[in-house]
A and B are shown apart, each in its own frame.
Chain A
């Protein structure tokens, strides 16, 4: 039982980060049809900027805030400088552009920061909490709680505010949204900025547990994408469920099967899901028009 709880909590913790990355993917995908492979770099930026800002003497909460702001600025620049000029390009071209952006950001981080691994202090210390016999790091609760808060905030924003409804309208049908007077360019910029902020928060929360370095983004982007795919592309709740599920699969796979292929689980899952049900677990079947 303690073993099971241990795997469960660590799975949910890592899964929460995948869920946040997947949520960022979904937000951008819904607003602009772009699959943003640079999504993982926002998580990296969140962690790295906080580490280096606090090392420079800025108090930790302010450093974290700065990291979120930097990520949002980078997200907006990515949209205005790289995505907007290539708006009418094919999906594959846009994917390659975002991959280029991810390589560029990683290269910049390598120069501006360094190639070392970095750790942040846990918010409530490192004394493990006993939960049904399992030793849980208090930071896990911060990660899970933070993820819950972000999901709820996003939900309220999308369902209860005019701007949020504009985002949903743009996701549903861009042309129709424009016809009823929605500025879809603003909505898309908002989506990129928002997804960058979500990624940065994930980076700040998870760094005390998993450490961070300039190259953590790629694998996170790939796994976040797997999570989004698992939940059904374009479905925010599906993205969260997919992320948590993927985290659990990894944790139990490592715990009960083998730890050598920890990173392989996500990709085996992607392939199986794509083979068996290309629309994901919670996605709708779409009819392609010619």
Chain B
């Protein structure tokens, strides 16, 4: 137990050190931008991992919630004069309510039925965003007003680096803590066997719904922050491909591993940046990476590596 708590804080401290130390080796503001992108994506992936890795339910439409969060901070200030930070909260609330309402019937489904239902939900959200161009600017997207907090206009890639880094630490802390609460234990029981969990007295439907709502809220906040950071948003952020990318981050890093989600996000975000020379080949490579990692590292990068390391230290 003591070791477990120690492990948890060790992870958090290590992450904080990395976030704090990386800027020392960044030669230009471009690096700040890419790193912020990694932190935000990792935040969304950690949320999705609570649903997929801990509670064992898949969602192929999570970019829908990401999109709701992103468009909330764009539409709120532009059409209703709501302050940006309040729009973020409203977007998060909207996503959570939608997840709650739709999650009830959806989460009764299993395996690929659940996958297709969440996929349908995500595609519908993206379709609404693309079609209602009076509100959303349609396929071309729309600009996002700068965030103003107590008269301070937030801008600059290094400022956003610290905000997204702080957000990531917060998200990691919540997810790690959740692991050791009765809720987290109930999630893991669901993951292993729904029937056994039900027999042990766990309200299966309620906990699945909880995990879905938590994951939706994470995605929504990540979407809002990305929109504010970029100052612009388009429907691709809510699209099917982005949903797949999020799922790939989670599975590539390792289901159920919080650190894994961060690693998965880092790989999927930095790889296209490194490979910009092959920009034409981006989809080809993304598809290839997904297939190869699913075949050869089914458990994900972090669990596979830690198993190898554990074996080393034993022998």
User: Given the complex of chains A and B, what is the CA–CA distance between A218 and B115 in angstroms?
Assistant: 15
* A222 on the B face (CB < 8 A): yes
User: Given the complex of chains A and B, what is the CA–CA distance between A91 and B195 in angstroms?
Assistant: 19
B278-294 interface bits toward A, Cβ cutoff 8 Å, 1 = contact, 0 = none: 00111111111111001
Inter-chain contacts of B286 with A (CB < 8 A): 100, 103-104, 107
Mark out the residues of chain A between 240 and 281 whose CB falls within 8 Å of any chain B CB in the assembled complex.
Answer: 260-261, 263-264, 267-268, 270-271, 274-275, 278
Decide yes or no: A290 and B195 within 8 Å by CB, A92-B111, A96-B247, A100-B287 being known contacts. yes
Contact between chains at A274 and B117 (CB < 8 Å): yes
Q: How many residues of A contact B (CB 8 A)?
A: 40
Q: How many residues of B contact A (CB 8 A)?
A: 44
Contact among B106, B251, B288, B289 with A274 in the assembled complex (CB-CB below 8 Å): B106
Contact among A93, A110, A225, A261 with B283 in the assembled complex (CB-CB below 8 Å): A110
Contact between chains at B280 and A111 (CB < 8 Å): yes
Mark out the residues of chain B between 102 and 138 whose CB falls within 8 Å of any chain A CB in the assembled complex.
Answer: 102, 105-106, 108-109, 111-113, 115-117, 119-121, 123-124, 127-128, 131
Mark out the residues of chain A between 7 and 22 whose CB falls within 8 Å of any chain B CB in the assembled complex.
Answer: none
Q: Which of A104, A111, A260 has the most CB of B within 10 A?
A: A104
Contact between chains at A92 and B115 (CB < 8 Å): yes
Contact between chains at A274 and B124 (CB < 8 Å): no
User: Given the complex of chains A and B, what is the CA–CA distance between A271 and B117 in angstroms?
Assistant: 6
Stretch among A58-66, A81-89, A152-160, A167-175 lining the B interface: A81-89
* B298 on the A face (CB < 8 A): yes
Contact between chains at A271 and B287 (CB < 8 Å): no
Inter-chain contacts of B287 with A (CB < 8 A): 100-107
**Smallest CB separation, B38 vs chain A (Å):** 21
Contact among B60, B109, B127, B280 with A278 in the assembled complex (CB-CB below 8 Å): B109
Contact between chains at B240 and A218 (CB < 8 Å): yes
* B210 on the A face (CB < 8 A): no
Measured CB to CB, the nearest residue on chain B to A103 is: B287
Decide yes or no: A261 and B131 within 8 Å by CB, A93-B298, A100-B290, A107-B282 being known contacts. yes
Inter-chain contacts of B117 with A (CB < 8 A): 270-271, 274
Inter-chain contacts of B291 with A (CB < 8 A): 82, 97, 100-101, 104
A/B interface sample: 17 pairs, CB < 8 A: A92-B115, A95-B115, A97-B294, A99-B244, A100-B291, A103-B241, A107-B285, A110-B280, A226-B120, A264-B127, A268-B120, A270-B116, A270-B120, A271-B106, A274-B106, A275-B106, A290-B193
